[in-house]
Amino acid sequence: MKYLDEYRDHRIARALAAEIVRSTTRPWVLMEICGGQTHTIMRYGLDELLPREIEVVHGPGCPVCVTPLETVDKAIALALRPEVILVSYGDMLRVPGSHSDLFRAKAQGADVRIAYSPTEAVKIARANPDRKVVFLAIGFETTAPANAMAAWQAQREGLTNFSMLVSHVLVPPAIRALMVSSTNRVQGFIAPGHVCTVMGCNEYESLVRDFRVPIVVGGFEPVDILEAVLMLIKQLEAGEERLENQYVRSVSMQGNVPAQQIMAEVFEIADQKWRGIGPIPRSGLRLRAEYAAYDADRVFQLGEMTVDEPAECISAQVLQGLKKPTNCPAFGMRCTPENPLGAPMVSSEGACAAYYHYRRHAVAK
């Protein structure tokens, strides 16, 4: 299949790995932001093809993992109301809240339904005018346009029984927060190609300039990741820092302008709490006042909640690239995909799930 087979070709991958080895003269710490890229690295054992000098750490780009515990608790509380149909992406059902999860709420009789797109939730609202349908709208810039479109569509149709519990996060403020942290070790970033397909690359120029850190926008196949690593290493070894785009088959500088327009019509930038990490200024999206009637937080007057993460879970450090999943004492013992203590063990983009599924119980570097 064109645009897929050549990016999984082991000969190309090995040639890139050999060039990375030849180009590397000293230690470097690189971070891939996106959980999809983490899974590619673990699934194909790409880290084992790299020289020992290169350490790849995993970033906070797993939308399910960074959705605050409070949002999960709010979703469970809403789902347990008899008048509510709670609609969610499937990944969110097993994510532990402070005492339960949506899967258990469903087992207790809550009407929790899985959707593959937010427009399905709008359809459910249309078909159930006597119920209140709440869509759990989470994710990065990639899911924001479709979620915005759902609110726009509901408003256009005058639906009064549809709302969204919104927890949207943005990548560039997260990179900024990592770079200003006193514990940061990252010297180069692979930026998420799907986010940049929507948003373009312009936002990353200021990060390169402000922190003098190279950033390469990368794709999700093994050859994409290795090529992005090589592009970063060449810059680092030459003492340069630029924004480069490895994922040219999908990403342009300006991105998808109509998608950005619908996002800007429905959402505005707001401070956002990230699960495990804490609040990051201007790192999220919330519904604009014109869409307040579709904001489940306001409709149901959910108010503020503060809950503590399980003490044993070190996901905060995993999501900031400070620890690997296998450094967690609970990994594979008290925390498994069947009985997760933290979201990174549940999500299809979670780093702990990647290490668990690909049986990488020992980390060499």
Residues that bind ligand SF4 (CB under 6 A): 312-315, 318, 325, 328, 330-331, 335, 340-342, 344-345, 352
Chain centroid to CA 326: how far? 20
- Distance between CA 314 and CA 294 in Å, rounded? 35
Minimum CB distance to ligand SF4, residue 315 (Å) = 4
- Distance between CA 102 and CA 280 in Å, rounded? 26
- For the beta carbon of residue 311, count every other beta carbon within 10 angstroms: 7
Q: Which CB, 222 or 344, lies closer to ligand SF4?
A: 344
Minimum CB distance to ligand SF4, residue 277 (Å) = 13
Q: Which CB, 87 or 335, lies closer to ligand SF4?
A: 335
Q: Give bridge partners of residue 189 from the DSSP assignment.
A: 31, 215
Q: Give the DSSP H/E element, type plus range, for residue 331.
A: none
Q: Which CB, 37 or 246, lies closer to ligand SF4?
A: 37
Q: Which CB, 171 or 328, lies closer to ligand SF4?
A: 328
What tokens does 143 get?
Answer: 């899911």
Q: Which residue has the tokens 């995909």?
A: 337
- Distance between CA 216 and CA 244 in Å, rounded? 5
Minimum CB distance to ligand SF4, residue 115 (Å) = 25
- Distance between CA 338 and CA 53 in Å, rounded? 35
Q: Which CB, 1 or 311, lies closer to ligand SF4?
A: 311
Minimum CB distance to ligand SF4, residue 4 (Å) = 30
Minimum CB distance to ligand SF4, residue 317 (Å) = 8
Minimum CB distance to ligand SF4, residue 234 (Å) = 33
Enumerate residues 6+ apart whose C-beta is below 8 A from 233: 20, 23, 24, 28, 54, 188
Minimum CB distance to ligand SF4, residue 330 (Å) = 4
Q: Which CB, 71 or 260, lies closer to ligand SF4?
A: 71
Beta strands 132-139 and 162-169: pairing type?
A: parallel
Residue least distant from ligand SF4 (Cβ) = 342
Minimum CB distance to ligand SF4, residue 207 (Å) = 27
Q: Give bridge partners of residue 274 from the DSSP assignment.
A: 278
What φ, ψ does residue 264 adopt, rounded to 5°?
A: -70, -30
Enumerate residues 6+ apart whose C-beta is below 8 A from 77: 302
How many CA within 13 A on the CB side of residue 181?
Answer: 19
Q: Which CB, 4 or 333, lies closer to ligand SF4?
A: 333
How far, CA to CA in Å, does 283 sit from each of 95, 173, 217, 228, 291?
A: 22, 5, 19, 25, 20
Please, are residues 191 and 33 in contact by the beta-carbon 8 Å criterion? yes
Minimum CB distance to ligand SF4, residue 328 (Å) = 3
Helix, strand, or coil here: 47? Answer: helix
Q: Which CB, 58 or 74, lies closer to ligand SF4?
A: 58
Q: Which CB, 156 or 359, lies closer to ligand SF4?
A: 359
- Distance between CA 203 and CA 196 in Å, rounded? 9
